Structure 1
Amino acid sequence: MQDPAEEYAEDAAEIAERVTQLGLTVATAESLTAGAISVALGAAPEASDWYRGGVAAYSEEVKREVLGVTAEQVTSAECARELALGVARLLGADASVAVTGVGGPGPTEGEPEGTVFAAAQVHGEVFEAHHVFVGDPAEVVHETVGAALALLRHALEATASVD
């Protein structure tokens, strides 16, 4: 399995180009991926100009106390939305992407392994995705990085076309 920063370099470069054109900043909130999305974005061109940083909110306590998650279940679409909005607020970013889910082995909070909830937001407009990936935990994390970057790219394209 290739390093996500290498495999998803093209996606991250497209995000970098888009946010630079729009004059936006980006942040990440990661549970399931524990910083892997951050690594991919941090390796993108001119990241120091637009990437504000990220929070690897792996524990429920960090999700709730640092990022303000109130969702009943932390493995949910609601949690992903709250993570995305919370990290943007915390780090002063215009756009953000967040993921939460079940890497495995086994289910969590009634969700099967491989379940991923992602949310991306630009100026408060939220876009969501739900996936169920097949594979061991490392493969689920890897697939989640690609899905999260694709969702962020979609959110940036959708909001740019409205401006």
Structure 2
Amino acid sequence: MTAEKNANLAQKVARCASDRDLTVAVAESLTSGLLVSALGAADDASVWLRGGVVAYATAVKQKVLGVSPGPVVSARCAEEMAAGVAAQLDADAAVATTGVGGPDSEEGHEPGTVYIGWWVHGQVGSRLYDFDGTPEEVLEATVAAALTDLLGAMDAAERGES
């Protein structure tokens, strides 16, 4: 059911990006490519999807995406990842995932702690989630949340909201 939900959400992102002539980029840590894969399967992805960066290692987040030193399971990291991938891939909108999939804790955070960050035309934001379930369930829930948050951020930017 979640895979179907994520495919439907990706289609909504595709329509939104196409209707508004936006390009989209993705920065992933926790989701390891699942998010960009969902978007890449949506309609006309070759027109609006710029690509994605899977930055699993902290050093890659810092070197490639410009993330500041410090905890990577954080709102700051998610926002910097989104802004960094937007700049690297010359995108109008970007979304990023970072967090703890499990089964073990990281940086003092329990499994299921997830931060989604977004950047749309310079407007940045993030949201904290606490998902339950297996690592696979946490990843699927994270993809759904990231797609939903990206849609919300694109809508807010269109309305001129922060």
TM range, smaller chain: over 0.9
CA distance in 2, matches of 1:11, 1:105: 27
CA distance in 1, matches of 2:123, 2:48: 19
Aligned-residue identity in percent: 49
Q: CA deviation at 1:126?
A: 1.1
The answer to whether the aligner puts 1:151 opposite 2:157 as a matched pair is no
Q: TM-score, normalization: structure 1?
A: 0.94
Question: CA-atom RMSD, angstroms?
Answer: 1.3
Aligned to 1:54: 52
Q: CA deviation at 1:127?
A: 2.4
Q: Which amino acid aligns with 1:63?
A: K
Q: CA deviation at 1:7?
A: 3.3
Contact 1:71-1:79 within 8 A present in 2 as well: no
Q: Deviations over 1:57-93 (max 9, x none)?
A: 1111110111110041011110000000000000110
Q: CA deviation at 1:147?
A: 0.3
Count of aligned pairs: 161
Contact 1:127-1:151 within 8 A present in 2 as well: no
CA distance in 2, matches of 1:118, 1:7: 18
CA distance in 2, matches of 1:48, 1:106: 37
Within the candidate set 99, 120, 123, 2:121 is matched to: 123
Runs of 4+ aligned structure 1 residues displaced above 2 Å come to: none
Q: Which amino acid aligns with 1:40?
A: A
Contact 1:71-1:78 within 8 A present in 2 as well: no
Q: Which moved more, 1:71-80 or 1:48-57?
A: 71-80
Within the candidate set 99, 103, 106, 2:104 is matched to: 106
Aligned to 2:66: 68
CA distance in 2, matches of 1:13, 1:71: 35
CA distance in 1, matches of 2:69, 2:118: 17
Q: Which runs of no fewer than 5 residues in structure 1 stay unpaired?
A: none
